[in-house]
Amino acid sequence: MLKFLKTYALFISMLFGMVFHSIFTDISFVTKYFMDEPLKDITFITTYLLFCMLFITYCKVSPRQMKIRRLHYWLAGIQLSGCFLVYGLLYYFDPNAAEGGLICILAPTATSAPVITGLLGGSVATLATYSITSNLGIALIAPLIFSLIGAHGQTGIDPTFIESFLTICSKVIPLAIFPFVLSMIIQKLIPRLHYYIRTRQTISFWLWVIALALLMAHTTNDIIHMDSSYYSSAVIVAITSLVICLLQFIFGRRLGAKFKNTIAGGQALGQKNTILAIWMAQTFFNPIVAIAPATYVLWQNLVNSFQMWKHNKTQK
C-alpha cells in the first residue's frame, strides 16, 4: 500500500489540490487554531514547506562530495542562455508564455532528480552535485534576471531596478540559501541531529506532496477566477511548457552523452524543482504565468514514467 502511495502520490496530490481548491485556498479554518490572526494566503505555508524540504535535502550532502565537472558548466550555460532566448522569442507573441517559458528553463534541478537518476541507472553523484549547486545558484541569479525583465510581484507598484532587485533578493535568497547554511551549522554543532535528518529523506518527499497540493489549489483557483479573455493565453502557456519540457530532456540527454552521463544530463535539464518554480511564478508574475510550471509538473512526470517503463522493460 505504501509503495502504491509513493508511486502515485504526486498525481494524487495534484488531483486533490485541483478538486478541493476551494478548501486549500482558504486555510483560515486550520490556522485560526494556532494563530491570533488566521492566514488566508497559502503562500505563507508553502514558503516554509519549501524551506524545510531544501533543508532536509541539503543535510544529505557534504561539501566534500560536491565536485564540479565540465558537464555542470555546460548545463548551467544552457539554462541561462536558454531562458533569455525563449523569453526574447516569445515576448512579442505572448508575454505570459515568454515569462512562463523563462521560469521553466531557469528553475533549478529538482532535489528528487538524483533518486530518479539512480533508478534509471545514471550517475547519482553527478546529478546530486548539480541539483545542489543549481538551487543555490538560481537563488543568487534569479533576482537579477527578474529585475531585468521588470518582474516585481503583484503589488501594482512600478519600482526602480534597485528596489525590485532588493525585494526579490529578500524573498528568494533566504528561502534557498539559509537552509543550506543551517544544515552546515547543524552538521558541525549537532551531528546526531544532522544524522537523524540525513537518514530520513522520505520526510522531504511527503512535504513535497503537501506543498504540491497547496500550489496546485492556488493555481486552479486563479484559473477558475480568470477572465475568459485570458483562456487562449493560458492554453498557449501550457503548450509552451510541454514543448520546453521535451526539449530540455532531449538536449540534456544529448549533452550528457558527450560526457558519458546521458541519464544525468537529461534529468539535470529536464526534471525541475517545480515547487520552487510555481512559487516564483505566483510571487513575481501574474497568475497565468504560474500555469507553465504547474503543467510542467505533469509533463515531467509523464516523461519520467515513460523512461522508467522503458528502463524496466530493457532490464527484463
Going by pLDDT thresholds of 50, 70 and 90, the confidence category of residue 151 is: low
Residue 231 pLDDT greater than 90, yes or no: no
Containing domain of residue 141, as a range?
Answer: 40-315
Separation CA 287–CA 231 (nearest Å): 12
Read off the pTM. 0.72
Please identify which residue in the block is written with the cell numbers 543555490.
Answer: 136
Furthest C-alpha separation in the chain: 59
Of 102 and 28, which is predicted with more confidence? 102
- 214-234 average pLDDT score: 75
Does some domain include residue 20? Answer: no
Give the tens place of pLDDT for each residue, 92-150.
888 889 999 999 999 988 876 776 776 677 777 788 788 878 877 887 788 788 878 77
Q: Residues with Cβ < 8 Å from 279, sequence gap 6 or more?
A: 43, 46, 47, 50, 215
pLDDT computed for residue 34 by the predictor? 45
Q: Residues with Cβ < 8 Å from 2, sequence gap 6 or more?
A: none
Quote the number of domains for the chain. 1
pLDDT computed for residue 100 by the predictor? 92
Does some domain include residue 33? Answer: no
Residue 246 pLDDT greater than 80, yes or no: yes
Asked if 162 and 148 count as a contact pair (C-beta separation under 8 A), the reply is: no
Determine the straight-line distance between the first and last CA of the chain, rounded to whole angstroms: 24
CA count, 13 A, side-chain hemisphere, 214: 23
Does some domain include residue 9? Answer: no
Q: Residues with Cβ < 8 Å from 51, sequence gap 6 or more?
A: 175, 178, 179
Going by pLDDT thresholds of 50, 70 and 90, the confidence category of residue 153 is: low
Find the CATH number of the domain harbouring 309. Answer: 1.20.1530.20
pLDDT computed for residue 44 by the predictor? 67
Does some domain include residue 51? Answer: yes
Of 196 and 153, which is predicted with more confidence? 196
Query: What Rg value do the Cα atoms of the chain yield, rounded?
Result: 19
- b/e sequence 85-96, b meaning 16+ C-beta within 10 Å: ebbeebbeebbb
Does some domain include residue 2? Answer: no
Does some domain include residue 3? Answer: no
CA 306, 308, 311 angle in degrees (round to 5)? Answer: 110
Does some domain include residue 184? Answer: yes
Does some domain include residue 23? Answer: no
Identify the bridge partners of residue 272 per DSSP, sorted by sequence position. 109
